[in-house]
Chains A and B, each alone.
Chain A
């Protein structure tokens, strides 16, 4: 038990499962109390367990984004008609356009609908933001199945290119001033773009040479036929998954296209991944492992989702928009959402960041 709380970074996948659990739970309700509780739970866990890293500080941006989503939703009810309902609270001049109507009467019911809707979407976005803040994105890429290793490396390299590009753009722009820096706008753009792009190109060539000489892509020889088969299996499987998910969610498609295709597609894709991964001879340095804390995190997220699914099937948790009333809150879903806060207490804290001696 002493080892359980030793500071370490949790597997990023665990945080994503937890956050997706919360996000799925949010889709089941428009009750503002529940949604605000979900946001509070996500925020509390982020504050308690985020590391001191740039991506962890981005959580605030997701909160702003959430507020913006709500504002836009409500604003649209003003602009594109919000006259459903009987309680008119604002009368704006109406502008009829071909087919649609701008402004006009605004009812409390439709504004409230916009608010609830926006709140639900905002809560989902904030849950994803929480996952982003808690899970190191680069470690998540590293935790991908071996078959996707190449894609993961490409993404990591691409991510590291952006700060480099920004750096050389700043450098060139500053250097540009040494040459006078006057001239037409297009020309200024050219004077900065060309050196920056040349810099980026020569860097990427150097990186490619370095990766090649350090053994990247040393997978040994694979028969072209085997490669083709695994590729086909993966593509067919993923297509199956897409069709399956679509028909499950869309009630009007024939049922035989739903569950059977979804399951078949998943199996086919997983088999393709497994086959492709089997060929890869590569090991991983200090991989993130699933231990008990990861299970606790994932289970708490899934728990929230399950409780809200179950309780919403008994009594829908969407407050009425027909007769305006203070939305009611029952204790079962609230307790369910509160399961999500457990990781803030039952996980080890992240490792302290390395001291930057600049």
Chain B
């Protein structure tokens, strides 16, 4: 179906190639998972399959890529629209029409299919993806999971033989992500579509994947079954780390396989938190946008040295609560007290000295040309000593070039920069809204250690996220929100272990209080 023959690719103006001498052959109906760190070349590799690389991106491609016997060098991407369907990370950015039905039909209109065929396929696709009740809705009003399913549907209507997805679930909550992945598994099963997918949180995809391609970033690839490839890759899901730790052979790929191995371990570790004095008290917080209530009378308190994870599906009010607590967002009722002050009644410069926040789109805060200029501006804004932001940045993420443009940094580095900018005001409370979005395993590990260090200094940290494994690593306390209310609040092991949707892999295997591979490692060492 897809043949890559000694493919190499170099972006314009770069000395080292992103891909070199890559050969890969994918058969009909396979589901192939592409894994690798950010910037290793996964997206580039996927882009070559319908010719977006190099026709759209520029750069130099050597070797040959062919789909169904047609070489991508011979034609522009649009001539592959009937063969290859491409779904990106942000579905909203790729939508052309404005209602679901028209979006589904768009690709077919370009292929000049007859109206009867289009009508039939739209109906079939609506049913296949379970979005028939959304047909006349405006795309902008859909939730993230619904948008992603519409985006998949929109490329499926042309009946492509190959589906290429670049991190389709990175912005979705766990349940919505499961929905999208189950849909993809069904496509492979029922239609025999070949699916190529890049995904950071691979633990969710591995059970469905026939093959795995690891892109290490050195130009080559490692290709094989997931069990073969994961034997010694630096990035791996927790279950594989567990298998490696305990020397299991073959490595378990699914939770069910791992459960069958009878495992006797000592008593589970106790996560002791030395919770200090109370830093913030919020009570009865109400946030509403017109008739829509986002936060419904929520009480929350934050303590010194505590890392609080906030979970809940998209639109459950996490962000609105964080903004209200910070004081910059709207708040119609309730009170927030930091010491004796209410951040909302202070000027924004004073509020950020009490409560700092990194918003969902962290790069919104950056507007200057170099890292150094951003740091200098941050020092001036916070009234901190010259160079204190730079020093913070060096501690959080060493080795960032001072003269680099903030937009050229990797996601993780940019997040560290924004965090340093916000920390320069020395707030004792730091709120992070979806910081793990788009981060790979390495960047997440770096972020986890930054958060741990900040908490150890006596700050209170709140992280709103969908990433259960990340929560399992960092959080002392977990709050789950639904419909603007807090539905559960307690120690991480209790809340995560008690919920099937939020349980991390290790909890699913070992149950109860076990959360991470590090817990097991500590127990084994004893």
One of B10-18, B79-87, B239-247, B443-451 at the interface? B79-87
Tell yes or no: A281 within 8 A of B by CB: yes
A174 CA to B326 CA in the complex, in Å?
12
| Smallest beta-carbon distance B160→chain A, Å | 10
* B195 located at the interface, meaning its Cβ lies under 8 Å from any Cβ of chain A in the complex: no
| CB atoms of A181 and B109 under 8 A apart | no
**Which residues of chain A have C-beta atoms less than 8 A from B118's C-beta?**
283, 285-286
Q: B109, A285: Cβ atoms under 8 Å?
A: yes
The A interface, classified by DSSP as helix, strand, loop or mixed, is helix
Q: Which residues of B contact A172 (CB under 8 A)?
A: 364
Q: Are A210 and B158 in contact (CB under 8 A)?
A: no
A206, closest chain B residue (CB): B93
Q: Which of A174, A203, A207, A287 contacts B96 (CB 8 A)?
A: A207
User: Are A179 and B365 within 8 A (Cβ)?
Assistant: yes
Within 8 A of A (CB), among B313-349: 323, 326, 328-329, 348-349
Q: Which residues of A contact B378 (CB under 8 A)?
A: 179
B137 touches A283 (CB 8 A): no
CA distance A282 to B381 in the complex (A): 56
How far is the CB of B273 from the nearest CB of chain A, in Å? 27
Contact with A along B346-366 (1 / 0, CB 8 A): 001100100011110101111
CB distance from B36 to the nearest CB of A (A): 21
Interface residues of B, count at CB 8 A: 73
B12 to A: closest C-beta gap in Å: 15
> Is the C-beta of A96 less than 8 angstroms from some C-beta in chain B?
no
Kindly state the separation between the CA atoms of A213 and B107 in the bound complex, as whole angstroms. Answer: 9
Q: Which residues of B contact A181 (CB under 8 A)?
A: 348-349
Is the CB of A7 closer than 8 A to any CB of chain B?
no
Tell me which residues across on chain B come within 8 A of A213, comparing CB atoms: 50, 52, 77-78, 80-81, 84-86
Q: Pick the interface stretch among B98-106, B186-194, B224-232.
A: B98-106
Check if B122 sits within 8 Å of A174, measured CB to CB.
no
Write the chain B residue with the least CB distance to A282: B112
- Least CB distance from B245 to A in Å reads 40
A358 to B141, CA, bound (A): 7
Q: Of all chain A residues, which has the CB nearest B154?
A: A214
Question: Scoring A residues 286 to 317 as 1 if CB is less than 8 Å from chain B, else 0, what string do you get?
Answer: 11000000000000000000000000000000
Scan A71-106; emit 1 where CB is below 8 A from any B CB, else 0: 000000000000000000000000000000000000
Task: Choose among B95, B108, B357, B382 the residue that contacts A285 (Cβ–Cβ < 8 A).
Answer: B108
Q: Is B292 an interface residue (CB 8 A)?
A: yes
Docked-complex contact B106 and A214, CB < 8 angstroms: yes
Distance (whole angstroms) from the CB of B288 to the closest CB of chain A: 13
Task: Give B352 Cβ to nearest chain A Cβ, in Å.
Answer: 6
Q: Is A218 an interface residue (CB 8 A)?
A: yes
Q: Residues 138-155 of chain B: 1 if any A CB is under 8 Å from the residue's CB, otherwise 0?
A: 101100000000000011
- B114 on interface, CB distance cutoff 8 Å: yes
A171 lies within 8 A of B115 (CB)? no
Query: Does A330 touch B at the CB level, under 8 Å?
Result: no
- Assess whether A322 is interfacial by the CB under 8 Å rule: no
9-residue interface stretch from A19-27, A37-45, A188-196, A230-238: A188-196
Does A323 reach chain B (CB closer than 8 Å)? no
Whole-angstrom CA separation of A137 from B343 in the bound complex: 45
Task: Tell me if B203 is interfacial: C-beta within 8 Å of chain A.
Answer: no
Q: From A180, A182, A198, A207, name the one whose CB has the most chain B CB atoms within 10 angstroms.
A: A180
Q: Which residue from chain B places its CB closest to the CB of A210 in the assembled complex?
A: B94
A225 located at the interface, meaning its Cβ lies under 8 Å from any Cβ of chain B in the complex: no
A178 to B430, CA, bound (A): 11
**B137 adjacent to A356 (CB under 8 Å):** yes
For B106-131 the 0/1 string (1 means CB < 8 A from A) is 11111111110011001000000000
CB distance from A210 to the nearest CB of B (A): 3
Q: Please, which residues of chain B bring their CB within 8 A of the CB of A353?
A: 136
Residue of B with least CB distance to A138: B98
Q: Is the CB of A210 within 8 A of B93?
A: yes
> Would B56 and A212 count as touching, CB distance under 8 A?
yes
Inter-chain contact A214/B119, CB cutoff 8 Å: no
In contact, A160 and B98 (Cβ under 8 angstroms): yes
Query: Are B109's CB and A175's CB within 8 A?
Result: no
Instruction: State whether A206 touches B94 (Cβ < 8 A).
Output: yes
Flag whether A246 is at the interface (Cβ < 8 A): no
CB-nearest residue of chain B relative to A218? Answer: B78
Q: Are B367 and A191 touching (Cβ within 8 A)?
A: yes
Contact with B along A194-231 (1 / 0, CB 8 A): 11001000110011111111111110000000000000
A190 to B373, CA, bound (A): 14
Query: Measured between alpha carbons, how far is A198 from B408 in the docked complex, in Å?
Result: 13
In the bound complex, how far is the Cα of B164 from the Cα of A25, in angstroms? 57
Query: Which residues of A are found within 8 Å of B93, using beta-carbon distances?
Result: 202-203, 206-207, 210
Question: Beyond A163-B140, A356-B137, is A214–B98 a contact (Cβ under 8 Å)?
Answer: no
Nearest-neighbour CB distance to chain A for B19, whole angstroms, equals 19
Residues of A within 8 A of B90 (CB): 206
How many A residues touch B, CB cutoff 8 Å? Answer: 48
Q: Is the CB of A178 within 8 A of B137?
A: no
Interface presence of B237 (CB below 8 A): no
For residue A177, CB closer than 8 A to chain B, the reply is yes
Chain B positions within 8 Å of A185 at CB level? none
Question: Any chain A CB within 8 A of the CB of B76?
Answer: yes
A contact residues around B79 at 8 Å (CB): 215, 218
Asked whether B292 lies within 8 Å of A358 as measured between CB atoms, the reply is yes
| Contact yes or no, A283 B363, CB < 8 A | no
Bound CA–CA A287/B119 (angstroms): 11
Residues of B within 8 A of A282 (CB): 109-110, 112
Q: Does A354 touch B at the CB level, under 8 Å?
A: yes
Residues of A within 8 A of B158 (CB): 214-215
Asked if A285 and B81 sit within 8 Å, CB to CB, the answer is: no
Give B82's nearest chain A residue, CB to CB: A215
Q: Does B88 contact A (CB under 8 A)?
A: yes
Structural contact, A178 and B78, CB atoms closer than 8 A: no
| Contact partners of B356 in chain A: CB under 8 A | 178
The residue among A191, A214, A281, A283 with the most chain B CB atoms within 10 A of its own CB is A214
Q: Is B421 an interface residue (CB 8 A)?
A: yes
**B192 → A minimal CB distance (Å):** 21
Q: Decide if B437 is an interface residue (CB 8 Å cutoff).
A: no
A218 cross-chain contacts in B, Cβ below 8 A? 78-79, 81, 110-111
Partner of A211, one of B96, B111, B115, B422: B96
Assess whether B111 is in contact with A180, with CB atoms less than 8 Å apart. Answer: no
Taking CB atoms, residues of chain A closer than 8 Å to B140 are 163
> Are the C-beta atoms of A179 and B352 separated by less than 8 Å?
yes
Q: How far is the CA of A180 from the CA of B138 in the complex (A)?
A: 36
Query: How long is the Cα–Cα vector from A103 to B328 in the complex, in angstroms?
Result: 52
Determine if B328 and A174 form an interchain contact, defined as CB atoms under 8 angstroms apart: yes
Q: Which residues of A contact B135 (CB under 8 A)?
A: 354
Complex: how many Å from CA A281 to CA B113? 9
Residue contacts A-B, CB under 8 angstroms, 13 given = A156-B96, A174-B328, A174-B329, A175-B364, A190-B367, A203-B93, A210-B86, A210-B96, A212-B78, A213-B85, A214-B158, A283-B115, A283-B118
Q: What 5 pairs across the A-B complex have the smallest Cβ distances?
A: A215-B81, A210-B94, A285-B105, A215-B110, A354-B136
Measuring CB to CB, which residues of chain B are less than 8 angstroms from any residue of chain A?
A: 50, 52, 55-56, 76-82, 84-86, 88, 90, 93-99, 101-102, 105-115, 118-119, 122, 135-138, 140-141, 154-155, 158, 292, 323, 326, 328-329, 348-349, 352, 356-359, 361, 363-367, 378, 381-382, 407, 421-422, 425
Given contacts A206-B90, A286-B105, could you give 16 more A-B pairs where the C-beta distance is less than 8 Å? Answer: A156-B97, A178-B356, A179-B421, A180-B425, A181-B349, A195-B363, A209-B94, A212-B77, A213-B77, A214-B78, A214-B155, A215-B110, A216-B96, A282-B110, A286-B118, A358-B292
